Structure 1
């Protein structure tokens, strides 16, 4: 089976079949990335991401991970999307502004369990920079190193951001939980609830 890098090279050289194969491999992950952050616009942003992927071919390093490269494009596409819609772009600080600040309806996910709904709400209420790295880590099972590649930051910075993101998430969960029992179940089973949400997205 050809690697992602081999398929990508063939795609950029005009092999449409190679592009379709890459699309099938990675579409679900890219869709997950957008569905809790861009509402009904997620299909368009997925399309933009894959189109940009071809245009960005000269920037791809063979030694790197194509998946990280692709998610890096998705990450920048998301930020560009919100900047295009912003009235004062220069004041749009993604380390301070959450998806709920930017667009209260920016999710197309409906969770079944109370703990999952709590987690989704909390994710959308923390600053977008931190939501992104948490979802990459928990939904895409990316290590700090892989997250660093996506976000184009040092590994140490990615580790620090992950720690801070968990702290912010816990604080938001505590503020949103209807009972101490629900909060405890959600925090103690964070990996499980994240996997359950990923599974729901894959079935959607």
Structure 2
């Protein structure tokens, strides 16, 4: 099979078929990255992510995997997408705010049940940096080393951030459960739901 690096080089040299192959190979990965983090123009921002690869707006030197490079571009465009939502006079990095802070509209994700919706809503209540980290960890199954590569931070930092992000998600999820008047979940339940959510969402999105 032709590697991602080879396809990217061919696409940049004008081979549209190589670009289509690369798009088809990684479309779902990029879509999952954005699906619970933008409330408008989902397909447009996915398209622009791949276009940035083709035009070389962000240089790819082969020092990291193509997927890490692609996710890095997606992250850059996500922060750019929300730049205009930051309130004037509040000098806070975008990824330190939650989607709720940024005034995001309803999620474009169609959850299969109320527990899934609460989890998706809880993710949108925590810092965008934590939401990104947890979705990459749970939905893409990235290891600490892979997360460090995508986020360009030391692996020890990733692991400490991951612990804090899990606690933040748990706190928000329990708050939403109390608001809904349902019994509290155990840590094990929440971890399990988070890991299974990608599979359930994939079924919903495919019309299953």
User: Is TM > 0.5 for Structure 1 vs Structure 2?
Assistant: yes
Report SS of the residue matched to 1:125.
coil
**Counterpart residue number, 1:183:** 185
| Cα separation, 2, equivalents of 1:12 and 1:201 | 35
In the TM superposition, 1:5-154 aligns within 5 A as 5-56=5-56, 59-88=59-88, 91-105=91-105, 107-154=107-154
Alpha-carbon contact 2:110-2:204 (below 8 Å) kept: no
8 Å contact kept, 2:112–2:201: no
Count, aligned residues: 204
Root-mean-square deviation over aligned CA pairs: 2.2
Partner of 1:170: 170
How big is the shift at 1:12?
A: 1.2
Deviations 1:90-145 (A, max 9, x none): 62423531011113315200101222111101000000000001111111111121
**Please, which moves more after superposition, 13-22 or 89-98?**
89-98
Gaps of 5+ in 2: none
Aligned-pair CA distance for 1:176: 0.8
So what's the TM-score if we normalise by structure 2?
0.87
Q: Does 2:206 match 1:199?
A: no
TM-score normalized with structure 1 length: 0.89
Change in CA separation of 1:67 and 1:159 when aligned onto 2, cut-off 3 Å: same
Asked whether the equivalents of residues 38 and 106 of structure 1 are also in contact (C-alpha less than 8 Å), the reply is no
Quote how far apart the aligned CAs of 1:171 are: 0.8
- Matched-pair contact (CA < 8 Å) for 2:112–2:204: no
